[in-house]
Structure 1
Amino acid sequence: MSLQKLTIYNVRNIQKATLIPSPGLNLIFGKNAGGKSALLEAIFLLGRARSYRTSTIRHAIKHDENQLTVSGNVLLKNGINCQLGIRLDGKSSEIRINHQSQQSRDLLAYSLPILLIDPKSYRLLDAGAQIRREFIDWGIFNRNEHFLIAWRNYKRALQQRNALLKMRNFKQLEIWNNELVNYGTIVNEYRQLYVQNLLPVFKDVLTQFIALDDLTFSFQLGWDKSKGFLSSLNNDLEKDIRYGFTHSGPHRSDLLLMIGQRLAKDFVSRGQLKCIVLALKLAQIKLMVMEHKNNGCILIDDFTAELDWVNRNKLLSYLSQLSFQVFLTASEVNEFGDISRLINFKMFHVEQGEIDEVNGFT
């Protein structure tokens, strides 16, 4: 699938813009604060109904305007055109798919899968476990539609159990323990299978950038494997009551990258760490392509961030061969690397919220 047409109203400094992107690479350049990131933010909004740049949607709406609107025409893998639209005003949202109002954001995400790579992405191995769980779950979400149901049921059971712990109401604790174990086991199985399938793909992608043959995954369940999930809950009960929340479960799982017995982030250089994160993200895309799942869009905000010239060219070459639509931003054209051999791409110049296709490079 790919975004065939994009229309934007009142996203940051973009008052109104319409563009017809390439199904392959889309190179977006312009001075800082000109609207490059706003363009990517608009695409992200269309696929997620939320921003990746702010948790307060009001900040994404153009100054002196009351709402933003983004719409797009998406060509699905089966050849069917799908019309998507999102309107946000900071208090409510309106989602439309094929001109029909929808309540769920999930249908947007399924219709237009979006993978974001921005400077914050390089925190994937440095930050807390939550960001790595989200990384795994995004891959599973786009792989198996049943995962979301199990994950939501687990989250509901976890909230109920935590509420009982805080109120010190233990009468229904066993019921919610069973719910937690039931759905938590399903969530864990999905995650373990995904990590297992992702590893060889990741290793293959990593070779495009650096050589680290002994790098591997270590998936942490979130409970004591030798005791089992239910026994871990029972053993943690006194601690859970004291602190008012559940200490064991998939909400505490983690994905560690190891070299031997050491964490990769403590062993490799900063430059290698950036390449590892990049390979992890791209491996998710390659796995989707290999399994013939829905394609989508890769958004790379600030293409030059954290990458030297050699790896920029490697990345550009790799992206040009993917069956995925890609949007990349940079301040100058030459920052993208060598574009002389690119075939299926378009280039857009962004300045003061105005977006123009640069025909001289297409």
Structure 2
Amino acid sequence: MTRSMENLQTPVGEVGEPILVIDVGGTNIKFGYSCNSQPLDFRKLFSTDALRAGDPIRALALMVEDVVAETAIAPRTIVIAIPGFIDTDGDRVLHAANIRSLDGRRLGDELGRRAGCTVLLERDAVLALTGETRAGVVQDADHVLGVFFGTGVGAAFMTDGKPFRGSGWALEIGLMPFLAEGPVPEGMRPDCLEAHASGRALQAIAARHGVPIDSIFLASAYSASLADDLSRFIRHQAMAVGMAAAMVSPATILLGGGVMDMNGYPRETLIGLIEGHLPLSETRRPLDLRWSRHGWTAVLHGAPAVLTEHRGRGSPQSRVIRTAGRQPSPESNQNQ
């Protein structure tokens, strides 16, 4: 857990309205605040296992109470980064592969009722990429593909400053059909990308070789069999990036996620493999590949954009995200 109580003074009024941002990951749930489009100096982590042990809405509500009590900042809006599929109503979690207790829950409405404020949901990959386009390494880029390797695998595509959504969950590539060799982590579909290129797949490799997950890439220097498994793992990640790029034709590719930040992770090897999966010679376009600057805190920079979309009545996202605990107006129903 990281936390600081300094620089938590928030301006009074609409412009300075603080947003509580929750990044729900497969391992940890991270909390932070955004105010005036800038992160406040506060971070707090909880174990995601709390959502698996009982009612996940109650568990999240207790975490929110704990954070608000510690900071004395009661938000009007909570933005949650969801690692999975969100329904077109912007409120119901359809499927979260690594947190199945959230499946089918109307998280925005249910948590909003408990917390007494508006709760907005966004896919974690979209929120992270939005943050990097607003305050990170791709501020000067357009047509940006972001691929993130954490406990699971997610991707998002930004063009003209807006995320591409398809019918709602475009580029949720973790469940993309993918046939590969190697053991599959327990409880995962064997024929999907996440089973072979995610943090959970990496944990399975570490367990099989009896090495700590935190030092798995360094340990490969002393084990040929481990090095072979990790080489295959990196190849699968490169294929994932190549396939996502083939679908959206990005001008820039952003890579991030906890796996990429691990000690000893072979970034240069990955870059070389990705180059082999892209039509660089055919298109005569150079590879513009960048690494995430902010890590998970990119969602703090991206959260204000979710609130702006919610308030912009003419935007597609605002037509499917509604204020938690309130019925949509007849006018909004006509827009849906």
Whose RCO is larger (CA < 8 A, sep 6+)?
1
If you compute each CA radius of gyration, which structure gives the higher value, 1 or 2? Answer: 1
TM over 0.5: no
The structure richer in strand per residue is 1
TM-score for both structures, normalised by structure 2: 0.28
